[in-house]
Chains A and B, each alone.
Chain A
Amino acid sequence: MGRPWGSSSMTRFLLAVLRRDLTLAARRRGDWLIAQFFFVMVASLFPLGVGPEPQMLARIGPGVLWVAATLASLLSLARLFSDDHQDGSLEHMVLSPEPTVLLVLGKSLAHWLIYGIPLLAIAPVLGLQFNLSWEAIMVLEFSLLLGTPILSLLGAVGAALTLGLRGGGVLLTLLILPLYVPALIFGAGAVDGVIAGTGAQAHLSLLGAFLILSLMIAPWIAAASLRVSLE
């Protein structure tokens, strides 16, 4: 019997959305670089602001890197749907017979691959600047790996709700940052746990649970929001 008829066409749709967004990002590398440099710059401002003592930097490092990652993700999220909305292609994709949930899921996944994964590559270098131990950096990487998809998934809800509004970017920040707080607490808490010697497992498990919860809820709410915004 194999899979039901619909599943292969749904997979193809998901992959098509993914490939399209990745191609668009590859052709606009400038936008892509801005988000990564923003991450580096925000993180670099903290040692300048609070002073360069290594102990203190190691203490605040995990939190600062996590806050910088959430802000960098928000910066790029404002445009998750708006470019496609402006040229009209978004409406066509929503009107297509495939479920809007898949469209949102594909776009969130693409956002994570484009903007989330590079943060994983940069974070160890910034971790060294903040005097983090190798062990702490490994846990930071793992917490970002679990946490950055949450940022993309929940961010898609905010991007869909604020689509085409005046001052949408600032409003998006206001709506989404409160929802990011659990990811921030557990993500930074895992690294703090390693530094303090209490272990990271509890925080990482909660972060994983939050990722599963976001994966189950956020695409549906974002798809509904997208339909509301396009009405």
Chain B
Amino acid sequence: MNLYHYASPVTFYHLAGKLIPWFAWSAGLCTLAGLYISFFVAPTDFQQGEAYRIIFIHVPAAWMSMFIYLIMAFWGAIGLAFNTRMSFMMARALAPTGALFTFIALWTGAWWGKPMWGAWWVWDARLTSELILLFLYVGIIALWAAIDDVRRGDRAGALLTLIGAINVPIIYFSVKWWNTLHQGASIKPSGTSMDDAMLQGMLIMAFASWFYTIAVALYRVRGLILERERQAEWVKAILERD
């Protein structure tokens, strides 16, 4: 199998169409299973009571907000280096979901912060850098929106993504580097400080977020392909058929 085969919009369009249902169904099933474990199986935390259950949304969303940014930077770098059209489209398709997860991470964090810290928001290093990540997503989306020329927009967005990528390690390590209010990571390579059921719930929710992200990104990329290849015969054939 040749990977370059799928770098062409035609083949990728059809491949994405086949993959979307699989990822969408997996996302749905994982969400159901993850939510069941989160609410009915995972025990009450001895310190934080029931309020800790927000982490089943909060932690996967925060992970995804950073991962998606790095993947966008990866696709941007690939696109700039090899001049592949599909990689820029992937970056564009991922950005709204990344911004959404950043927003969810901040919002659920505020809901958790009010009962735990007594404040909706504190200006600690991790919260601030996550907020900056949201600004970066918004800036990149705004830059794309402002540039009508597709080729220029793709490249400009990729360059901005790359220079902003420095922020991601800062977010990730901020709780280690600075002594902040936000707690450190609960999952470490050496083992975790969590109950098994809690860990399972969180990981299943993380998988659900991954599958959801892949499904919507593929869905969006199909739209982008149709928009950009609208002059091509095969797109006209598809549009006339549907």
On A, residues with C-beta under 8 Å from B are 154, 157, 161-162, 165-168, 171, 174-175, 177-179, 181-182, 213, 217-218, 221, 224-225, 228-229, 231
Residues of B within 8 A of A225 (CB): 156, 159
Inter-chain CA distance A177–B132, complex, in Å, is 9
Contact B135 A157 (CB under 8 A): no
Add 17 more A-B contacts to A171-B143, A224-B159 (CB < 8 A). Answer: A157-B159, A157-B163, A165-B146, A171-B142, A174-B138, A175-B142, A175-B160, A177-B135, A178-B132, A178-B164, A179-B163, A181-B128, A218-B163, A221-B159, A221-B162, A228-B155, A231-B152
What's the minimum C-beta distance from B185 to chain A, rounded to whole angstroms?
Answer: 22
- Report chain A residues within 8 Å CB of B142: 171, 174-175
Q: Would you give 10 A-B contacts (Cβ < 8 Å), ordered by A? A: A161-B143, A165-B147, A167-B146, A175-B160, A178-B139, A179-B164, A181-B128, A224-B80, A225-B156, A231-B152
Docked-complex contact B135 and A178, CB < 8 angstroms? yes
Q: Quick check: B159 and A181 within 8 Å, CB to CB?
A: no
Residue B136 at the chain A interface, CB threshold 8 Å: yes
User: In the complex, are the beta carbons of B152 and A229 less than 8 A apart?
Assistant: yes
User: For residue B170, which residue of chain A has the nearest CB?
Assistant: A182
Mask: chain B, 137-154; 1 = CB below 8 Å from A; 0 = not: 011001100110001100
CA distance A69 to B172 in the complex (A): 29
A168 CA to B146 CA, complexed, in Å: 9
Residues from chain A with a CB closer than 8 A to the CB of B135 are 174, 177-178
**Is the beta-carbon distance between B143 and A231 smaller than 8 angstroms?**
no
Distance (Å) between the CB of A34 and the closest chain B CB?
25
10 nearest A-B pairs in the assembled complex, by CB-CB distance = A178-B135, A228-B155, A175-B139, A178-B132, A161-B156, A165-B146, A174-B139, A221-B163, A225-B159, A178-B136
- Distance in angstroms from B113 CB to nearest chain A CB is 21
A78 to chain B, nearest CB (A): 14
Q: Mark B160-196, 1 if CB is under 8 A from A, else 0.
A: 1011101100100000000000000000000000000
In angstroms, how far is the closest chain A Cβ from the Cβ of B138?
7
Question: Which one of A154, A174, A217, A218 has the highest number of Cβ atoms from chain B below 10 Å of its Cβ?
Answer: A174
The A/B interface has a contact count, at CB < 8 Å, of 57
Complex CA gap A115/B153 in Å reads: 30
> Which residues on B sit within 8 Å (CB–CB) of A217?
163
Query: Are A161 and B151 in contact (CB-based, < 8 A)?
Result: no
Which residues of chain B come closer than 8 Å to A181, judged between CB atoms? 128, 132
For B142, give the chain A residue with the smallest CB separation.
Answer: A174
Chain B, residue nearest A174 (CB): B139
Contact with A along B24-66 (1 / 0, CB 8 A): 0000000000000000000000000000000000000000000
Chain B hits for A168, CB < 8 A: 146
Residues of A within 8 A of B136 (CB): 178
- Complex: chain B residue closest to A230, CB-CB: B152
> Smallest Cβ distance from A27 to chain B, in angstroms?
31
Check if A162 sits within 8 Å of B146, measured CB to CB: yes
Query: Complex Cα distance A167/B142, Å?
Result: 11
Q: Give the chain B neighbours of A161 by CB distance below 8 A.
A: 143, 156, 159-160
Contacts of A177 in B (CB 8 A): 135
**Closest-CB distance, B230 to chain A (whole angstroms):** 22
Residues on the B chain within 8 Å of A228, using CB? 152, 155-156, 159
Docked Cα-Cα span, A110 to B26, in Å, equals 56
- A231 vs B147: C-alpha distance in the bound complex, in angstroms? 13
A178 CA / B143 CA spacing, docked (Å):
14
CB-CB under 8 A from B80, the residues of chain A are 224
